[in-house]
Amino acid sequence: MKKNLWILVLGIIAVASVVIVFLLRSPDKTRTLYCGPDKTDPAIVFKNPDDAFPSFASGYNVKLEAGVNLMDTLKEAASDINAGSEIQTEIVELREKLNQDNIRMQELMKSCFLAYHTRPCNPEASKRYFDMLDTLISRITNLEELKASVVVPESVEPTPKDTAAPPSTPEISKDTAKLKRELFRFKRRYTPLKLNEVKVRP
């Protein structure tokens, strides 16, 4: 329970930090508008949302794409340990769902981003934008939880100063029962993004 809560907190921090850091690094590209009945609620938005969106979305897209890559690693690991056709089929189906979902998520992200940064004082645009961020948090957190549950912790080996450690493919647990359990747990919590959610336009 504590582990899951910690992963959730890290997910929220990761998503929120991308937004905050991105805004703070672009002071010359942003403006502050004041919303609400008394015009006292500040909203920092980009002057040119179309130009800002690609940089904004890139960090999230990397995290979402990591979920698809994790499924590829799981499929290979399941084959290596002869985990059975049921698990391998489950992984293939989940990978396809994640891949399709990522496409829809990118559409939703762009739609909500442009709508909010064009009309931040519009209640619907504002709500959908922050709902979209909540959806991102949920998806990234679920993927991080799955990865944490099936990947064998790496042993930390000292490396020479100023030397970057080479990237490595995560080692997947060879416990077939655990692999099956965690995959089905992820599937139960996973809710595909609905097409009708991708409909906001600035």
Q: Is residue 95 within 8 Å of residue 71, measured between CB atoms?
A: yes
Q: Is residue 75 within 8 Å of residue 102, measured between CB atoms?
A: no
Q: What is the DSSP string of the chain?
A: -HHHHHHHHHHHHHHHHHHHHHHHT-GGGEEEEEETTTT-EEEEEESSHHHHHHHHHHHHHHHHHHHHHHHHHHHHHHHHTT--HHHHHHHHHHHHHHHHHHHHHHHHHHHHHHHHHH-TT-HHHHHHHHHHHHHHHHHHHHHHHHHHHHBPPPPP----TT-PPPP-PPPBP--HHHHHHHHHHHHHH--PPPGGG-----
Q: What pLDDT is recorded for position 112?
A: 92
Q: What pLDDT is recorded for position 88?
A: 86
Print the domain residue range for 92. Answer: 2-151+170-197
Both tokens assigned to 147: 């990865």
Q: Is residue 73 within 8 Å of residue 162, measured between CB atoms?
A: no
Tell me, yes or no, whether 64 lies in a domain. Answer: yes
Tell me, yes or no, whether 188 lies in a domain. Answer: yes
Both tokens assigned to 142: 């679920």
Choice between 60 and 114, residue whose per-residue pLDDT is larger = 114
| Angle, in degrees to the nearest 10, between helices 123-150 and 176-189 | 170
Tell me, yes or no, whether 72 lies in a domain. Answer: yes
170/30 Cα distance (integer angstroms): 39
Total number of domains in the chain: 1
pLDDT digits (tens, 9 = 90+) for 36-71: 899 999 998 888 999 889 888 888 888 889 999 999
Tell me, yes or no, whether 163 lies in a domain. Answer: no
Choice between 18 and 114, residue whose per-residue pLDDT is larger = 114
Q: What pLDDT is recorded for position 12?
A: 47
